[in-house]
């Protein structure tokens, strides 16, 4: 049994984990989700989703979905904004790889998180 585990460990070094904050992701991370209007639950189309201070940004599609790919790092501040809505900022923390050893087919583990935004419309004041 120990020999089998040793062979799997050599075949799948990506899945062997490291402890502490010194762990470096070998695969770029992904943050994805949906941006919807809080009251109506309708998608917010063409909302900008970005990580302030970086070049990471994208826009929502016709269903309110977005995806930020190729993220290097672990902790991010993510902001969604759109015309007519109050900008919303959320924190994201990509998880560490699971503490498992693959058996058979080894695939790269991609750190990812689903982060949804519920946007509020900017108040309109009658005079």
The token duo for 46 is 């063409």
pLDDT of residue 25: 52
pLDDT of residue 89: 97
9 DSSP β-pair partners: none
pLDDT in tens, 45-99: 999 999 999 999 999 999 999 999 999 988 999 999 999 999 999 999 988 776 5
pLDDT of residue 105: 64
CA pair distance 48, 15, nearest whole angstrom: 34
Which one is predicted more confidently, 127 or 100?
A: 127
Helix (H) / strand (E) element for 81: namely strand 75-81
CA pair distance 31, 76, nearest whole angstrom: 10
Domain ranges (residues) in the chain? 24-98+105-121
The CATH code for residues 24-98+105-121 is 2.60.40.1120
pLDDT in tens, 4-33: 444 444 444 444 443 344 445 567 899 999
């Amino acid at each position: 049994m120990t020999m089998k585990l040793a062979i799997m460990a050599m075949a799948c070094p990506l899945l062997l984990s490291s402890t502490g904050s010194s762990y470096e992701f070998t695969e770029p991370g992904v943050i994805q989700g949906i941006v919807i209007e809080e009251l109506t639950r309708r998608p917010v189309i063409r909302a900008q989703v970005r990580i302030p201070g970086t070049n990471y940004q994208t826009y929502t599609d016709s269903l309110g979905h977005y995806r930020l790919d190729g993220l290097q790092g672990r902790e991010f501040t993510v902001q969604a904004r759109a015309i007519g809505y109050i900008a919303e900022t959320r924190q994201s923390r990509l998880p560490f790889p699971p503490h498992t050893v693959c058996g058979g087919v080894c695939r790269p583990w991609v750190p990812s998180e689903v982060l949804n935004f519920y946007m509020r419309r900017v108040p309109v004041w009658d005079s």
